[in-house]
């Protein structure tokens, strides 16, 4: 952690870490690291006096410092800013075009109610832009450290590889939720400024109150965020296989694009339920009356399966990897 901190944000939690880094920097043999992992699994840890409480504290500390790095890194902030701009652009365009009338469907819905812009923006951005932003953070998580030569210092601390991986994943997942929330908030504010507020008309033709509409936006954000977190698991898994973070990032994005192409081919209908991006757009279930919780549940199960599978792949790779950089 110490070197990362000096390169990007001096100070954050480096004191304690530096003190604990008692091994010589260099090759961290796997056997030793495994031992470290096992040590945490067992109750008797090498530091008996204050075991679990201190470890938990260290975990949150590490996560905090990771989050600090992620949300202070200029490129991550730039991505959030760009993504926040898109709903504004969509809203302004619809405001200009929608005034001419003759628009049907979702566009008329958006022009008719301020909350609908949120759903429209989500359904538009969830296809590619949000996955790209999430992938950049997730794909960089391990490979970036390895590429910069800071991974071995992180591992030199007796934090354990499993825990480091967990911190890296939680960091990416939180960024995924941040991306989703930024889209929703930006769209919500744009909508409130540009379009009339009031009761929301659902796709089923039923009208609900604005408070309930906001609640449904919250559900949609929770769902889409979970989908992005599932994608982050793939990014993290690829990230453990390379020392070049752009490789992991590009690999994951290519995967997303390939999935979208496969979904567009009608002959391949039978495989689409197994592709992750298929489930991203299921959040429109909240726009139906009654809310189609079945569809949401199916999607969440798919996300959970992806997280479990790629999380375990990342763990298997990372815990057995020779860290040479």
> CB of residue 105 vs another protein: minimum separation in angstroms?
4
Q: Does 201 bind another protein (CB under 8 A)?
A: yes
Interface residue with another protein, options 63, 84, 88, 108 (CB under 8 A): 108
Structural contact between residues 67 and 171, judged by C-beta atoms closer than 8 angstroms: yes
Closer residue to another protein (CB): 74 or 294: 294
Q: Does 313 bind another protein (CB under 8 A)?
A: yes
Q: How many Å apart are CA 85 and CA 228, to the nearest integer?
A: 19
Whole-number Å distance between alpha carbons of 105 and 201:
12
CA distance 119 to 242: 36
Interface with another protein (CB under 8 A), residue total 39
Other C-beta atoms closer than 10 Å to the C-beta of 50 total: 10
Return d(Cα 98, Cα 111) in angstroms, integer. 6
Instruction: State the residue for tokens 């730039």.
Output: 78
Task: List 28's β-bridge partners, or say none.
Answer: 323
Taking the C-alpha atoms of residue 198 and residue 279, their distance in angstroms, rounded to an integer, is 29
Q: Under DSSP, is residue 323 helix (H, G, I), strand (E, B) or coil? A: strand
Contact between 99 and another protein per CB under 8 A: no
SS3 203: coil
269 binds another protein (CB under 8 A): yes
> Binding another protein by CB under 8 A: which of 24, 74, 205, 264?
205
Work out whether 88 is an interface residue with another protein (CB under 8 A). Answer: no
Query: Nearest approach, Cβ of 269 to another protein (angstroms)?
Result: 6
Interacting residues with another protein between 161 and 180 (CB under 8 A): none
The residue among 254 and 308 lying less far from another protein, judged by its C-beta, is 308
CB of 205 to another protein, least distance (A): 4
Residues 119-138, one symbol each (x = binds another protein by CB under 8 A, - = not), give xx--x---------------
Beta carbons of 315 and 307 less than 8 angstroms apart: no
Contact 201, 207 (CB under 8 A): yes
Q: Which stretch binds another protein (CB under 8 A): 51-59, 70-78, 216-224, 283-291?
A: 283-291
Helix axis angle, 210-239 to 245-264, nearest 10°: 120
Query: Which residues of this protein are in contact with another protein, per CB under 8 A?
Result: 30-31, 34, 104-106, 108-109, 112, 119-120, 123, 199, 201, 203-207, 266, 269, 274, 281, 284, 287-290, 292, 294, 305, 308-309, 312-313, 315-316, 319-320
């Amino acid at each position: 952690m110490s070197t990362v901190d000096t390169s990007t944000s001096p100070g954050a939690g480096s004191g304690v870490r530096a003190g604990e880094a008692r091994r010589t920097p260099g090759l961290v043999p796997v056997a030793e690291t495994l031992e470290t992992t096992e040590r945490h699994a067992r109750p008797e840890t090498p530091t008996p006096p204050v075991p679990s409480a201190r470890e938990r504290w260290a975990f949150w500390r590490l996560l905090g410092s990771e989050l600090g790095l992620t949300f202070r890194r200029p490129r991550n902030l730039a991505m959030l800013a760009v993504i926040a701009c898109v709903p504004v652009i969509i809203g302004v365009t619809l405001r200009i075009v929608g005034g001419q009338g003759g628009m049907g469907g979702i566009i008329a819905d958006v022009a008719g109610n301020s909350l609908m812009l949120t759903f429209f923006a989500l359904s538009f951005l969830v296809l590619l832009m949000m996955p790209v932003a999430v992938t950049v953070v997730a794909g960089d998580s391990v490979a970036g450290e390895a590429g910069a030569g800071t991974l071995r210092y992180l591992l030199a601390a007796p934090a354990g590889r499993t825990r480091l991986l967990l911190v890296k994943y939680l960091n990416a997942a939180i960024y995924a939720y941040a991306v989703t929330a930024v889209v929703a908030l930006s769209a919500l504010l744009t909508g409130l400024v540009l379009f009339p507020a009031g009761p929301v008309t659902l796709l089923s033709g039923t009208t609900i109150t604005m408070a309930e509409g906001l609640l449904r936006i919250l559900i949609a954000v929770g769902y889409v965020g979970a989908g992005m977190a599932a994608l982050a698991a793939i990014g993290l898994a690829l990230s453990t296989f390379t020392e070049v973070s752009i490789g992991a990032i590009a690999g994951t994005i290519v995967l997303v694009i390939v999935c979208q192409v496969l979904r567009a081919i009608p002959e391949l209908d039978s495989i689409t339920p197994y592709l992750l991006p298929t489930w991203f757009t299921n959040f429109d279930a909240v726009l139906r009356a009654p809310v189609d919780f079945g569809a949401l549940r199916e999607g969440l199960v798919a996300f959970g399966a992806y997280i479990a599978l790629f999380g375990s792949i990342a763990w298997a790779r990372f815990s057995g990897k020779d860290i040479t950089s």
